[in-house]
Amino acid sequence: MPDFFSRISISNPWLDGVAGKLSALIEPIVGHDVPYAFRDILYGTWLGHPLHPPMTDITIGAWTTSMALDLFGEESGADLALELGTLSSLGTAITGAAQWYDLQNDEEPRRLGALHAALNSTALGFYIASIALRRKDHRAAGIMTAWTGHALVTASGYVGGHLSFGLGAGVDREAFDYPPTKWTDTIADTDLPDGKLTRVDLDDASIMLLKQAGTVYATSAVCTHVGAPLNKGDLDGYCVTCPWHYSVFDVRDGKAIHGPATASLAAYDTRITDGTVQVRLRQA
């Protein structure tokens, strides 16, 4: 379906306006001026995995449960599930916004993310209306309104699936690397300057080396968020800040300290043999 989504993006430039308004709306919550401590919660850096997908499970699961209970005439259970899904949708929306915020430089993620948000917002309106109708004892209208919302959420989920699995939003950019598991030569020790990030490209992986106080550290050279070259980032002690979206990693063990990255870098053991720096993937 890539061509289908590409056509949607190309043929709907008006989505840029939606994206601009959405970006301005969420910037006070997820923008780069917001403290890392709060943004890391929304990204899922503490979890080692984007937080948005499990949040969607809670929201859509509750709404789907409500739909099923309506079919079986379980009114109180259906209403409770509907309200739970609607309440949890706030967290789902904020975590999704945090994941999308840094992807606006590319047209297709920007526009499809805006479409995803617009569909979800419209669906939420139907769900809120359904709650109001049920409370006024207009149950049949409330059920049909909720099912309309569910149809919109399903369409939105289809778009969101493409954002994740087609465009790689939230996907670890190291997922398809094949880091060396046996000792592998990189560069001569004399060619590795002290205190400077140095990149070495092997056949199946890119390695970033750092020599500090006589010790050599090695991690992946690619940011797990969107694939930025970390060797071009800013080094502060043992921490490197991504030059694109400002994720922070510890070069000693590859740990993701701050997002938007959630996955840590591959870390390597190092040794110097016959004047050559060698690396192998560090085992957990």
Per-residue pLDDT in tens (0 to 9) along the chain, 284 residues: 568 999 999 999 999 999 999 999 999 999 999 999 999 999 999 999 999 999 999 999 999 999 999 999 999 999 999 999 999 999 999 999 999 999 988 999 999 999 999 999 999 999 999 999 999 999 999 999 999 999 999 999 999 999 999 998 889 988 888 899 999 999 999 999 999 999 999 988 999 999 998 899 999 999 999 999 999 999 999 999 999 999 999 999 999 999 999 999 999 999 999 999 999 999 86
129 within some domain: yes
CATH number of the domain where residue 191 is located: 2.102.10.10
Amino acid of residue 227:
G
Which is it for the CA torsion 84, 87, 89, 91, positive or negative?
Answer: negative
Find, among 164, 162, 171, 179, the residue nearest to 227 by Cα: 171
Domain match, 33 and 80 both: yes
Burial class (CB in 10 A: 0-12, 13-18, 19+), 239: middle
Name 137's Cβ contacts closer than 8 Å, sequence gap at least 6. Answer: none
Domain match, 215 and 75 both: no
175 within some domain: no
Find, among 126, 121, 134, 124, the residue nearest to 69 by Cα: 134
61 within some domain: yes
Model pTM greater than 0.75? Answer: yes
199 within some domain: yes
Domain match, 213 and 82 both: no
